[in-house]
């Protein structure tokens, strides 16, 4: 029998790209267990040691996505090959305070983040004197804010050149087709001082613009 059809809901526009082959990055401060989590999730054997920056170049592995709808289609139609949707999981090197200004692995880290469709933030909340913490003592709230702040600064670093380019067309050249894009990017700039793009309500046209810039 096919899976029960669930009640249909109206879905609004979605931030991000749609694909059966997306990339999810595991990020967080150094030495919080990202590589260990990556190994468990992907059944890999990436190096995982008790010292900061054990991972420098990202580890990556594909994980098939379980889907009862896909299983039913395969059983019903019996295709010659079975190719499920995959999630590419990326173990990203640890981020430190000041990464947006070049601290730690700096720009290399941020470029790896920018190449992902989604981010899984792994934060340490356990006490263990044998496991080094780059900030000294364990404080999950502080650590969450460090990562959040660096990610917003990364978006701001991308935003300003993009905004300058659109401003030349929308304001100086009077291109009315670029006015909404300019207004949306201005709104993003104001928002990023305190929160992420995803934490704001956007309309469909604004989301098309945000997806174009991969926020």
pTM listed for this prediction: 0.76
14-138 and 140-215 have identical folds: no
Assess contact for 134 and 34: CB atoms under 8 A: no
Whole-number pLDDT of residue 188: 95
Whether domain 140-215 has CATH 1.10.150.300: the reply is yes
3-state secondary structure of 85: coil
Domain residue spans of the chain: 14-138, 140-215
Whole-number pLDDT of residue 18: 77
Picking from 22, 142, 150, the residue whose alpha carbon sits closest to that of residue 94 is 150
Whole-number pLDDT of residue 180: 94
Q: Which tens digit of pLDDT belongs to each residue from 184-208?
A: 999 999 999 888 998 999 999 999 9
Residues of the chain with pLDDT under 70: 1-13, 47-56, 99-110, 215
Whole-number pLDDT of residue 3: 59
CATH, range 14-138: 3.40.50.300
CB count in 10 Å sphere of residue 78: 8
């Amino acid at each position: 029998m096919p899976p029960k059809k669930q009640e249909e809901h109206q879905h609004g526009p979605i931030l991000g790209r749609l694909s059966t082959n997306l990339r999810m990055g595991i990020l967080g401060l150094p030495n919080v267990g990202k590589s260990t989590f990556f190994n468990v999730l992907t059944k890999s054997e990436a190096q995982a040691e008790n010292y900061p920056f054990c991972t420098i170049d990202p580890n990556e592995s594909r994980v098939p996505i379980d889907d009862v709808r896909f299983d039913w289609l395969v059983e019903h139609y019996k295709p010659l090959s079975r190719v499920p949707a995959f999630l590419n999981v990326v173990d990203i090197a640890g981020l430190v305070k000041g990464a947006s200004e070049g601290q730690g692995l700096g720009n290399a880290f941020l470029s790896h983040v920018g190449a992902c469709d989604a981010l899984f933030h792994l934060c340490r909340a356990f006490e263990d004197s044998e496991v080094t913490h780059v900030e000294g003592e364990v404080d999950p709230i502080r650590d969450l804010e460090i990562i959040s702040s660096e990610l917003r600064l990364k978006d701001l670093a991308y935003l300003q050149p993009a905004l300058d380019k659109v401003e030349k067309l929308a304001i100086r050249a009077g291109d009315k087709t670029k006015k909404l894009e300019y207004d949306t990017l201005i709104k993003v700039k104001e928002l990023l001082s305190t929160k992420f793009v995803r934490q704001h309500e956007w309309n469909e046209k604004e989301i098309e613009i945000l997806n174009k810039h991969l926020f």
